[in-house]
Amino acid sequence: MQQSIEDELAFHREMAASHDDSIPLGNTAVIAEHGYDLWRFNFLENLWRDLLYAARGLRRSPLLVLAALVSLGLGVGVNATMFSLGTELLFSQPSVRDAGSIVAIRFSGNSHSPHQVLDFLAASGLLTDVVGENEEVISNYNDGKETRPVFSVLTTKNYFTGLGIPVLYGRGIAPDDPDEVAVLSYAFWRQHFGGDPSVVGRTLNLDGRMCTVVGILPEHHRTLIGFGYSPEIYMPRYLDSTILAIYGRLKPGMSIPAARAGLVAVAKRMDQAIPVDYQYEQGLEVSPVAGYARLKYESDTLAMAVFFALLLVVTGLVLLIACVNVASLLLARASARRREIAIRLAIGASRGRLLQQLLADSVLLSVLGAAAGLALAEVSAQGLARIHLPVPIPIRLQISPDWRLAVYGAFLAALSMLACGLLPAWRALKESIAHDLNREKKMRLRRALVAVQVAISVVVLTTGFLFLRNLLHASAISPGFDVVHTIRANVNLPSAGYGNSQEKYAYIDRVVNSLAALPGIESAAAARVMPFNGGTHFLVDLKFPDDGQKQRARFDWNAVTPGFFQTLSIPMLQGRSFAASDRGQHAVVVNSEFARQFLGGRQPLGTVFLWGADGKTPYRIVGVAAVTKMLTIGEEPKPQLYEALADIDNDRREIEFVLRSAIPPGLQLEPVRRTLHNIEPMAGAEVHTVYSSIGLAFLPSQVGALLMGSTGVLGLLLASIGLYGVMAFSVARRTREIGVRVAIGASRADIARMVLGDSARVTLGGIAAGLLVAVLVTKPLAMFLVPGLKPGDPVNFLVVALAMFATALAATWGPILRALKIDPASALREE
């Protein structure tokens, strides 16, 4: 290790002193400074010179540069895109002031609480700000021509000021505003008002109330919920009964455990002040809303985090393949510069300097490749943000590049620089001293590199293929009801005129009859919940009066009209659907899974159990239906229970109508809309075919297939480029040998077989190694696959191996043709 300049000068003075020389005059600091300048300038000068030289050299081989830039650009681009996507979904910060100090609070495990709880908490002074929102609200927006349901958030009036949410125009809701105000989302504003800022101050008809627009949110506003959820309108809550999700701002310096302790104390006081059936302290939860901290608290997002980690690993492998490509290209190039390097070493250039010069090539390529990759990532991010996900709630991904991406990009560039450049540079130095006998070794190295590429590609391809197969399997799984002939109309009733359940049911009855009477419609029904578009879960204790047994039951609940099962073609396995005679008798239909899990071996039909708010209402099973999927296509069968819509206390304004059509359902959408509008023009209605509404079910498998599948193909492409390069080089090198063989009588088939054999040897090794790794690596992927598909299925590996072979064959085609064209006479004349 070199001594520092100061040490050297200090040593000199010590020596002078010990030899009784006169102490040298002169300021060591000045000398040292002079020295540092000398070294620094030298370094920069060399760096600049190396880069210029490298640039000139690269300009002479445009194909190399193109291949390298494409490889690196794709590798880095894909990586950066996945990174942006992942960080946006998992770590994004909501658009509030000081997001780190905001926490979500749940009492009694309830996601939402009445406003009295909020008011009590605010009054306790425990937290700086306490705000609330109900983000599951659908408002009817009447623009004068038609009424559409719009996703809204009802908030406390201190929501905007307490959280510190920035706005684009106007202002947020203020604590002294009247109830009839609204803040619009950027997307809603652009869609309905064309981005006209003068809409601030105008009034909109929302749910029959005239609300004044006071502000518009910025384009990149992120909600507290995150995951891209973007509601369209914010309004103050105006009903006493609206339940709210509670968020609070911690006092400066307050930790989450301290907040929790404080909240427990508040909960105990609330038990006295506003008592309810359960205790507020049970299921008390305090969790952060921002970034990494939130992930740690919410285990739901774990699967998503694991998926993205997997994705990053896979794209990282693709980048590795790309880097190996570039390294291989640079290796070939370094071999051509052998003589130049040897001469330089002979006239005394230092190894270090030479290494620097050789690395300059890879530095330049890596930096350019990373820049190209980041540009590609930006473009694809824009594309991704525009994708409209087929989910029932509005989700808009905002992937905007930020400092994290820049850091990650720099990291990738540095990594690829090392991966691409070190090996060729080091080899170039070593071999230029030892002349030609190293040519053979280098060829072996390049071939080994290609084998590694093939192996990695096999792993990446196996993953991609697995996800593609998953999608195919998922698409073949039946959801349990008819999605081909059916139509769904989601209706949101206005509050005026439909205050109680009787009025609602009268409307439902009228609509069902009118819809069933439409030409081409075979049957119609209504329900509270539509599969794949929401769900209501219950966890209760059922009591069986016949033997006094209690049973804990968790199930999905729905309330339907009698024609529901027939309309959706859900088979009734036992008994029947609801009849007019069941009115007021609390008749229920359960599905086979419910009967299996909770009835304890009893015959379902006629079984009575006690349930309900008072735990004493008897419910009688009149039918057993087949299982339908509720959330995802790959889910295990879930217990379901159906009540009669006429019997329940219907407190929601949202109703799902389903219709079965004899003619293609797409043709019936307009008649259905008109019918609904005629019956109640103030109700917001969305009418779609059921087929187009169940996109959510397939979303995970589609996303997985798209991302993994395309990465797999990319990896395959890059590996084939690498293989082609090596094979072409190999043929070129063996020109003489081939010429000799042809001259002594080898046939075209012999030559072709020779080249093919060469290529096969390289590929086989890679495939074998790759398959071995793939077997191990794909085992934990089972968590992402639908039941029925095993990651260890030998068919997967067989298909991948065949695909790799086919690709290798295609890549070797060109070199084989070139080999066949070799004319022995000219080949023998070559050096």
Partner 1 sequence: MGKAAQPALLQGTLDLLILHALRRGAMHGYAIAQTIHLLSEEVLKVEEGSLYPALWRLELDGAISAKSGLSENNRKAKFYQITRRGEKILADQEATWERLSAAVSRVLAG
What residue has token string 């989302």?
185
Site for partner 1 in 292-351 (CB under 8 A): 347-350
| Other CB atoms within 10 Å distance of the CB of residue 818 | 16
Query: How far apart, in whole angstroms, are the C-alpha atoms of residue 500 and residue 495?
Result: 10
CB of 432 to partner 1, least distance (A): 17
- Answer for which of 26, 257, 519, 794 binds partner 1 (CB under 8 A) is 26
Comparison of 35 and 765: residue with beta carbon closer to partner 1: 35
Residue 313: φ, ψ to 5°:
-60, -45
Q: What are phi and psi of 103, to 5 degrees?
A: -130, 155
Closest to partner 1 by CB, 5 or 443: 5
Query: Least Å distance between CB 292 and partner 1?
Result: 45
- Return the C-alpha torsion angle 531, 533, 539, 545, nearest 10: -40
Q: CB nearer to partner 1: give 13 or 550.
A: 13
SS3 622: strand
Note whether 16 binds partner 1 by CB under 8 A. yes
Q: Coil, helix or strand for 205?
A: strand
Residues 6+ apart with CB under 8 A from 587: 578, 619, 620, 621, 622, 644, 647
Q: Which H or E run includes 655?
A: strand 654-661
- Whether 729 and 811 have beta carbons less than 8 Å apart is answered as no
Q: Using CA atoms, how far apart are residues 365 and 330, in angstroms rounded to an integer?
A: 10
Residue of the chain from 18, 198, 272, 678 that contacts partner 1 (CB under 8 A): 18
> 676: closest CA among 57, 23, 148?
148
Q: How far is the CB of 10 from partner 1 (least distance, A)?
A: 10
Q: In the bound complex, what is the minimum distance in angstroms from residue 49's beta carbon to partner 1? A: 13
Q: Which stretch binds partner 1 (CB under 8 A): 17-25, 440-448, 724-732, 808-816?
A: 17-25
Per CB under 8 A, the list member of 6, 31, 205, 219 interacting with partner 1 is 31
User: Minimum distance between the CB of residue 438 and partner 1, rounded to whole angstroms?
Assistant: 23
Query: Which 8-state DSSP code applies to residue 20?
Result: T
Residue among 19 and 59 whose Cβ is closer to partner 1: 19
Residue 26 Cβ vs partner 1, minimum distance, rounded to whole Å:
4
Binding mask 353-382 toward partner 1 (x if CB under 8 A, else -) reads: x-----------------------------
Classify strands 181-184 and 209-216 as parallel, antiparallel or unpaired. Answer: parallel
Task: Please choose, out of 35-43, 214-222, 324-332, 381-389, the segment that lies near partner 1 by the rule CB under 8 A.
Answer: 35-43
> At closest approach, how far in Å is the CB of 353 from partner 1?
8
Q: Which of 6, 20, 29, 38 binds partner 1 (CB under 8 A)?
A: 38
Distance CA 20, CA 733 (A): 69
Partners of 620 in the β-ladder:
587, 608
Looking at the Cβ atoms of 45 and 143, the one nearer to partner 1 is: 45
CA atoms of 774 and 759, how far apart (whole Å): 22
Which of 53, 116, 139, 87 lies closest to 273 in space, CA to CA? 116
In the bound state with partner 1, the residue whose beta carbon lies nearer, of 2 and 678, is 2
Judged by CB under 8 A, which of 2, 241, 255, 581 binds partner 1? 2
Smallest gap, in angstroms, from Cβ of residue 4 to partner 1?
9
Rg (CA), the chain: 35
Q: For residues 24 and 681, which CB has a smaller minimum distance to partner 1 in the complex? A: 24
Give buried/exposed letters for 580-595 (b at 16+ CB in 10 A, else e).
eebeeebbbbbbbbbb
The nearest distance, CB 342 to partner 1, in angstroms, is 14
Task: Kindly state the smallest distance separating residue 50's Cβ from partner 1, in Å.
Answer: 15
The answer to whether the beta carbons of residues 274 and 120 sit under 8 Å apart is yes
DSSP state of 581: G
DSSP state letter for 395: B
Mask: binding to partner 1, 39-78, rule CB under 8 A, as x and -?
Answer: x--x------------------------------------
Q: Least separation, in Å, of the C-beta of 362 and partner 1? A: 24
> Residue 347 or residue 613: which is nearer to partner 1 going by CB?
347
Among candidate residues 136, 813, 692, the one with its CA nearest the CA of residue 389 = 692
Residues 746-785 that bind partner 1 (CB under 8 A): none
Question: Minimal distance in Å, beta carbon 32 to partner 1?
Answer: 9
In the complex with partner 1, the residue whose CB is nearer, 5 or 418, is 5
Q: Tell me which residue of 322, 286, 303 sits closest to 70, measured CA to CA.
A: 322
Q: Which is nearer to partner 1, 8 or 143 (CB)?
A: 8
CA distance 315 to 323: 12
Kind and range of the H or E run holding 589 = strand 587-591
Work out which of 20, 25, 63, 636 binds partner 1, going by CB under 8 A. Answer: 25
Q: Is 470 exposed, middle or buried (0-12, 13-18, 19+ CB in 10 A)?
A: buried
Bridge-based pairing state of the strands 102-106 and 245-249: antiparallel
CB of 434 to partner 1, least distance (A): 19
Supply φ then ψ for residue 341, to 5 degrees. Answer: -65, -40
Residue 357 C-beta: closest distance to partner 1, Å: 13
Binding piece for partner 1, criterion CB under 8 A, among 3-11, 283-291, 315-323, 714-722: 3-11
Interface with partner 1 (CB under 8 A), residue total 30
CB-nearer residue toward partner 1: 296 or 353: 353
Instruction: Determine, following the binding rule CB under 8 A, whether residue 35 of this chain makes contact with partner 1.
Output: yes
CB of 48 to partner 1, least distance (A): 15
Which tokens belong to 267?
């909960």
* Coil, strand or helix at 744: coil
Task: Tell which phi-psi region holds residue 348, choosing left (phi > 0), alpha (psi between -120 and 50) or beta.
Answer: left
Give CA–CA dist 223/231, Å, rounded: 8
Nearer to partner 1, 38 or 806 (CB): 38
Interactions with partner 1, residue window 605-644 (CB under 8 A):
none
Under rule CB under 8 A, residue 520 binds partner 1: no
Pick between residue 33 and residue 737 the one whose CB is nearest to partner 1.
Answer: 33
Whole-number minimum distance, CB 349 to partner 1, in Å?
Answer: 7
> Considering the complex, what minimum distance in angstroms separates the CB of residue 424 from partner 1?
24
Residues 708 and 314: beta-carbon distance below 8 Å: yes
H or E, element range at 777: helix 748-778
Closer residue to partner 1, CB minimum distance, 1 or 63: 1
198 touches partner 1 (CB under 8 A): no
CB nearer to partner 1: give 26 or 194.
26
Q: Decide if residue 12 touches partner 1 (CB under 8 A).
A: yes
Q: Please, which residue, 8 or 541, has the CB nearer to partner 1?
A: 8
CB 569 within 8 A of CB 662: no
Name the E strands within 252-296.
Answer: 285-288
Choice between 342 and 768, CB closer to partner 1: 342
Nearest-angstrom CA–CA distance, 447 and 742: 25
Q: Which residues bind partner 1 (CB under 8 A)?
A: 1-3, 5, 7-9, 11-16, 18, 24-26, 28, 30-31, 34-35, 38-39, 42, 347-350, 353
